[in-house]
Structures are given as structure tokens and as C-alpha cells.
Structure 1
Amino acid sequence: MPKILNVSSKDILHQVKIMCQTPSFLEAIATRKIITDAALEAGIEIKQEELQEAADNLRLANQLLKAEDTLAWLEKYYLSVDDFEELAQTNLVSAKLATHLFGDKVEQFFYENQLNYVGAATYEVILDDEGLALELFYALQEGEISFQEIARQYIQNPEIRRAGGYQGIKRRSDFRPEIAAAVFATNPPQLLQPIITAKGVHLIWVEEIIKPQLDEQLRGKILGDLFTAWLKQQLEQLEIVPQMDVNTNYPKEIIKLKSSQAA
């Protein structure tokens, strides 16, 4: 039979403090209050059927397909059924507030920033030796070897190796700036000359440049990005004052160290 360890709310708060997590917790609390106040000011209302759908979506997102799965999940995170409903409601209010604030601005933002949403399908091998990278580059140009053969020989990660170095479809922001500039200046299919970065020497095959389409997935991403930027702006304008005891009696050794550093 396991031993019982009782942990109080004071113990939990103290652990948060000594793990230096207080600022992130305060920011999360402030964010929730910003959303709640803004939604109230905007007159956003939640219907019961909307809340039920939000709760169902929350269960699906956490793969809680059965009632016992949900109960086990609640127990794991020390949540009540009311807490679960509050979590679903918070998610729903956030989504409705984002739509209220920026739903009619997504299309304009997309067209003004289309270049940021252009995609590229690429294959990549990162080498340690620039001379070897150049040798392989010229061998590829001459058709003496295939990119897949290079990937099988020089990529350590099994999944990427099996995929021949395929990196998926990435947008400009997913690449390092020096690589993005080269990738999106190509006329695919095209092999790039080796590019040196802090990670090594990149040998990249650009298979396709994909023009962006404002589908539901991208619309949701843009809406989320605009909402996140708005929240960040609201937080920057807010002074968070925690109502809690903070020990400022630092040891003399620390004070001396800070004084000597200032000098």
C-alpha cells in the first residue's frame, strides 16, 4: 500500500515560487482576465449548445473518447466536472472574442502578407564538411548520384532518412533567413548550392513552391496569430501586482555580490 503524502495549496504555491514559475502563472491569470473582461465588454454570450460542442471538442483534442477516459483525465489533473466546463467555456470565449475582434481582418491581412504564407516542399541533408557537400552537389548535378542515396548515407534520423530527407511543406518563417532567401528565389525543381549555417552545411533540393490559399486552416492560423499579438499588446500595457507574501530578505552574500557587480 503506497504511503500518503498530503500537499497543501501553500506547498503548491511555494513550489511554483522556488521553481521561478510565478511570472508565467501571473501572465496566464492576467491573460484569462483580459479575455473575460473584453468578452464581457463586447457582449459575447455563450449558448448551451455551443458550450456542449466546445466540451466535446476538448474531449476529442485530449482523446477522451469514453466517459471513464474523461474521469481518469480529470483525476490526473485534479479537475472537477465544473473545472472541465470552465475550461471548455474559456476556450470558447477566446475563440468567439478572436472572431469578434479580427474575423473581418483576416482576408486583408492575408493579401498584405501573402509572401509569408508561400510554402516550399524541400529535401535536405546537413553535412559537417563543406568540401564533401560541394562534391555531392556536383555529383547530383551530373546525375552520378540521387538525393535519396545521399540521404540514406548521411542522415542519422531513421524517419527522415527513410523519407529521403523530405522536410514537408514549410513557410518562409520556418526556415532560417539565409535559407529562406535561397529557397524562395528558386525555379523548382532545383538543387541549391550548399548553404553554411551554425548547424552545418545544408544541401537542399527544392521540389515545389506552393502558392498560398486562404483555406479554413490558414484562416484559423491567421486569426490565432492576430489574437495572440493583441493579447501580448494588452499584457504589455498591464502592470500585474500579485497579492502574496514575497521574501525580500536576501542573504548578505547576495547583496554584496550585487553591489560588487554594480561597482
Structure 2
Amino acid sequence: MLNPITICDKDIFQQVKLSCLIPTMIEGIVGRQVIAQIAAEKGIVADTHELQQAADDLRRVNNLHSAGETWIWLQKYHLSLDEFEELAAATVLSAKLAQHLFAEQLEPYFLEHQLDYTRVVMYEIVLDDEDLAMELFYALQEGEIHFHQATHQYIQDPDLRRQGGYRGLVRRNELKPEISAAVFSAQPPQILKPIVTAQGAHLILVEELIPAELTQELRYEILSALFATWLKQQVEQVEVTPQLEPEPILLQSR
């Protein structure tokens, strides 16, 4: 059995450095402090109900369904109850500050970028041979073969083949520009003439175009993106000098 190993803050900091995580850590630390400072300046605080809700959300996200599971989780991450509450408070402040800064910009932003949030239900076969792709396209057009049959015959990836080439709900910015232009100009259901990219010849079935709708989920996504961009800009303006004071932690090796 190995002897007990003592780890202090200096050791942890050194591991962070060797893992090339310093920039990420600094960005997170400064971001948290920026949020706290600006929230205070704007009089934004977390009330008791909001803190309780945030704590409940944290437990749910981490599958902590009992006090015992929560305690084990806290020990695993070396967090005290006060630090857990601090984490919940930081979550609340971030959400409230984001609302304060960008809530009124949500609908104008959505209207301006509405096309970016339009989605397509599509199926795809990618072939190395452009001539074969054209031949298969005409065969599909003439009804000599069904798209589903073609996917089972020409898709090599087992999982994608089992799904019949289904790409899921895809947004415009998730596709290559040349593919996006053709897909979002289609009249569903429509099989597109093969599109050649560096990846190969794409044979695409456009099943449905789904117009963008400003749902609660999309509101949260846009708000989070706007806030993240803003926070990154704030962090980049801050001059940082990291300091750590060693504090021993005793870990028993197995």
C-alpha cells in the first residue's frame, strides 16, 4: 500500500499550469468577479427564494437526490456548504444580470437573425464518386430506388446507416455554405442534385423546413450567447495577477 500523499494549493496550481489550463482558469475567475462587481453596481441581488431554487437546480443537474448524495458530491469537489451556496448565488447573479442587460434585445436580435434559427429535417448520403452520385440521383428521381434503400446500400457508417442517413434538426450555420444555400432553397420533400464539397458528393433529401420560433428555450439560448460575448469582452479588458497561498489537503491513496 502506498503512503498517504499530501497535496497543497501549490501542487494544484502546478498541475493546472502543466495542464495548460491557466488561461481558462483565469477567465473563469475574472468572469465571476466581473459579474459580482457589475451586479453590485446595478443593485442586482439574489433573494432567498432564488438561491434555494438555484441550489435545487444544481442538485438536480448533478443527480443529487438526497442529502447524503449531496454531501458525497461536496466532498468529491472539496466544497463546503458555504461554497455551494456561493456557487448557487453566482448562478443567480449571472442569470439576473443577463436579463438586465439583454432582455430587451432578445426580440430585435431574433428578428434580425431569424433565418439563422430556421431548421431543416434532412437525410444525407455522402459518396466519393461524383458520377455515382449523379446516377443515384436520377435513379431516385425516376423511382427506381427509394432513398431509404440507397442509404442502406451506400452509407458505410453503421450508426448513420441504421438511421437512414438522418442528420436530425439542423440549422443553417451548421451546414457548409454551399449546402446550406441549396437546402434552405428547397421545396420539401425534395431530393437535391448532388452537391460536391471536399468531403465528397452530398446527396440530400430535404424532408421539412421548420420556421424559427422564439420559444422559451431559444430565448435562453440567445440570452446566454449575448451574455457570454459581453462577458468575454469585459474579461479581456481586465489586467490579472494570479496569487495562491498553499493550504495542505490530505488525500489517502488507494
Give the TM-score of the pair, scaled to structure 1: 0.86
2:80 match: 80
Closer, same or farther in 2 for the Cα pair 1:109/1:133, shift >3 Å?
same
Q: 3-state SS of the aligned residue for 2:241?
A: coil
Q: 3-state SS of the aligned residue for 1:207?
A: strand
CA offsets 1:191-246 (integer angstroms, 9 cap, x no match): 112222233322211111111111101111111111111112212323333347xx
CA distance in 2, matches of 1:157, 1:223: 37
Size of the aligned set, in residue pairs, is 244
CA distance in 1, matches of 2:21, 2:234: 21
2:128 match: 128
CA distance in 2, matches of 1:156, 1:144: 21
Q: 3-state SS of the aligned residue for 1:124?
A: strand
1:41 match: 41
Question: 5+ residue gaps in structure 2?
Answer: 245-254
CA distance in 2, matches of 1:85, 1:141: 61
CA offsets 1:10-62 (integer angstroms, 9 cap, x no match): 11101111222111111111111111111111111111111010111111112
CA distance in 2, matches of 1:181, 1:227: 29
CA distance in 1, matches of 2:203, 2:230: 39
Question: 5+ residue gaps in structure 1?
Answer: 245-263
1:60 match: 60
1:113 match: 113
1:5 match: 5
2:166 match: 166
2:178 match: 178
Superposed displacement of residue 94, structure 1: 0.5
Superposed displacement of residue 85, structure 1: 1.5
Matched, 1:24 2:20: no
2:94 match: 94
2:247 match: none
Of structures 1 and 2, the one with the larger relative CO (CA 8 A, separation 6+) is: 2
Matched, 1:210 2:210: yes
Identity %: 52
Superposed displacement of residue 69, structure 1: 2.4
CA distance in 2, matches of 1:44, 1:29: 20
CA offsets 1:96-137 (integer angstroms, 9 cap, x no match): 110011111101111111111111111112222222222222
Worse-superposed segment, 198-207 or 11-20: 198-207
Q: What amino acid does structure 1 have at the position aligned with 2:98?
A: A
Closer, same or farther in 2 for the Cα pair 1:128/1:78, shift >3 Å?
farther
Q: What amino acid does structure 2 have at the position aligned with 1:45?
A: V
